[in-house]
Every structure is written in structure tokens, then in C-alpha cells.
Structure 1
Amino acid sequence: MTVISLVRGPHERASSVALPAGPLTVAARQVAASLIGDMGNRWLHTRGVAARAAELAGPLGVDGDLLTAAAWLHDIGYAEPTVVTGFHPLDGADHLTRHGWPVRVAGLVAYHSGARFVAAARGLSELLAAYPDERTVLADALTYADQTVGPSGLRVDPAARYAEVLHRHGPCSWNALVDADRGPYLRAVTGRIEHLLALPAAA
């Protein structure tokens, strides 16, 4: 099995994590490194989410190359060259579309971690609707990976991760504004994924 090295990049530490090296994953990691590889914690978080996604794919029975690629790309909308609206899921998806990425990858990036709730509050739902909102186990797995890795790339409890995000963005943020809808949605995703992970493996 081919392994993508995680020893490259200005903020990277040596790691023994092996990620599936399908074609989407390889390309996605390169794009992410070029856009956010020098963004400190944003890069460390992205690396951690990609590693977590790779671990989840097998137990959940989903396409590991697609899931891990989306994980590498989920936060590229924070990179200055991609910013148009200032809403990172949409800006990331638009950047991927402009560069010929499959619409399914762009859709996973566009809707990760309950982005549709923030998009609605910001008046961006129509723009987000250009992308498919697949609401599958794979999409849940991307959100779960994002919600179980903190800013420094370390594993965290989903509740602690969500609380940290709300605190970091502040009580007047878009995240706080949509908390009544987005919070229960993220808890439901966690419940669905952890239920699947707890099921006995097929014989």
C-alpha cells in the first residue's frame, strides 16, 4: 500500500499515520499544502482531519479516497487566493469547481459540518445550492472527522470541539447565531457515526 508522507510542509511534524494514496487523495493533499500549508494551526487541523477520515473510511464502508480527499480540502476556503464571499465552505467549493474537481468533492466541501445553516443566515443558500448536498454516511464521516480534531490537529471530543469553535468565534458570530439549529445537527451526525462504529464487524 502506498503511503503519503506527512513530513513535508513548514509546520509539519514527523508522523507514522498512513493515508490511502488514491488519485484524489494525492491531488487533494498537494492542493491543500499549496494553499494552507503555511497557515499554522489551520494546516495542523487539516492534517488531523485527513488522518481521522482515512481511519473512518474502512469501518464505515465508504470510499476512502473520496472521503480523505474531501478532508484534505475541507478548509481551503480560508486561503487568501480562494476567498470571494468570506464563507469558507462555499469559497473552497467554488475554487475546486474552477479548477475542474469533481462536483461530488466540491459538494462535500460546500456542506461540511452543517455549513448550510450558516449559509442560510448569511443569505448564501442560493449560491450553496449549486452543489449537491448528499447527506450520506460519507458526508457524515467528513463532518465527524472535522468535529473530532481540534485546531492543533489533536483528537478531541465532539462536544468539546463544538464548544471551542463557539468560544473562538465569539457570541456574535454566525456560528453562534445558528447554534440552535447547527448544534443539534452536529450532535445527530456524531450519534449516527458513533452508532455505526459501535456495530459489530460483518462476518
Structure 2
Amino acid sequence: MGGSMVDWAIHVAESELSAMLPRRWAHSLGVARRADDVGRILGEESSLLVAAATLHDVGYAPRLATTGFHPLDGAQFLRDEHGADERLVRLVANHSFALLEAEERGLREVLEAEFPLLEEPLLVDALVYCDMTTSPFGEPTTAQERVAEIVGRYGADSVVGRFIRRASPEIFAAVERVDAALAVQPR
């Protein structure tokens, strides 16, 4: 991991998450490590992926939780307090099929209007891959185990449980696409 955007992302995420939400911080670091490895399929976009991976859950920080929907809260924080790169903010806002959860929460129109999904499928898939193949403790896992863990933690009938079950086919497909890209990209 390197580059000024990545260094800045680590600093921001650590200051918002490490003390208040150490497990969320461990997950974010694990997702960033995964992104550092996966970034080879993106070439020059690898630092953007690592920065987004590092910051994807910053919206969980208690002081940032204005809507209670962490992708939206994190993206608004990055845009409004830091003037962050627009593509980075849009990746954070839309990570791991957030539009589907936004719909469950009645926030889809707000999310789409403020932070349109990037039209960069491999980059978007790579962030899904990194998030959904990293455990809450920052360790590698499978997407199937991660989805099951999320359903178990939140409950199948919760907003998050409904969303993740609905999104799981898309999550698994994104992971498969990234696995395929990794298989043809030399280390």
C-alpha cells in the first residue's frame, strides 16, 4: 500500500474508527490489505481501490452517523469535511451493493442523487470482493461465509439481513468476476 491518497485514507479512517470501533477498524485494515493484493488487476486504479477499501466503513463512526446508513454517512463526511476525490466518495457510497440496502431503508433516491454509481464495473466489483471476502476481524474468508456471518449477526429479518440476502447473488457474481480477472493476471 502506498501513495498519498492511500496514506490520507489510512489517517482519516484510523482517526475515526480505531479508538471507538476497533473491530470495524480491524475489518477496514483487512479489506485494505485485500485491495492491495487485488489492485494488480486495476493497474493505475489500484491506489483508488485501496483508499476506498480503507474508508468504506468510515460512516460507522458515531460522530458521522447522521442517517444511520453508513455508506451514505461516510460518503457525505468524505465529501463535505474533506473534499475527497469524487470517484473515491462514490465508491464508498455504493460499496457492496449499498443501493439495495438504501432501498430497504427508503434512502435509494437520496443515495443515487448524491452519489451515482461509478460506471467502472471491475473497480466496483473489486471493492465488493475485498469487503465480502474479509471477516469482521480483518481475516480472509469466503463470500458465502461472510454473508452467513452478516445474516447471523443482524438477523435474517432485519434491514441488513434482508438486504444481504437480496444482494447475495450479486455479491457472489462480483466475487466470481474478480476471481476470474485475478486468475489471468500474473502476480
TM-score norm. by structure 1 comes to 0.85
Which residue is equivalent to 2:29? 47
- Structure whose residues are more often helix by fraction: 2
Structure 1 residue ranges without an equivalent (≥5)? 1-18
Q: Percent identity?
A: 39
Q: Give the number of the structure with larger relative contact order, counting CA–CA contacts within 8 Å between residues 6 or more apart.
A: 2
Aligned to 1:26: 7
SS class of match (2:51): helix
Q: For residue 178 of structure 1, give the secondary structure of its aligned residue in structure 2.
A: helix
Amino acid at match of 1:34: S
Equivalent position to 2:111, from 81, 105, 128: 128
What is the total number of aligned residue pairs between the two structures? 183
1:157 aligned partner: 142
Residue 59 of structure 2 is matched in structure 1 by 77
Gaps of 5+ in 2: none
Structure 1 vs Structure 2 CA RMSD: 1.5
Q: How does 1:163-202 map to 2 (within 5 A)?
A: 163-199=148-184, 201=186
Shift in Å at residue 91 of structure 1?
Answer: 0.4
Could you tell me whether the CA contact under 8 Å between 2:150 and 2:161 is conserved in 1?
no
- Residue 112 of structure 1 aligns to a residue whose secondary structure is coil
Residues 30-62 of structure 1: CA deviation (Å, up to 9, x unaligned): 000100012121111011000110111113435
- Displacement of 1:158 after TM fit? 1.1
Aligned equivalents of 2:107, 2:185: Cα separation in 1: 41
Amino acid at match of 1:192: R
Structure exhibiting the larger radius of gyration computed from Cα positions: 1
Q: Secondary structure at the match of 1:150?
A: coil
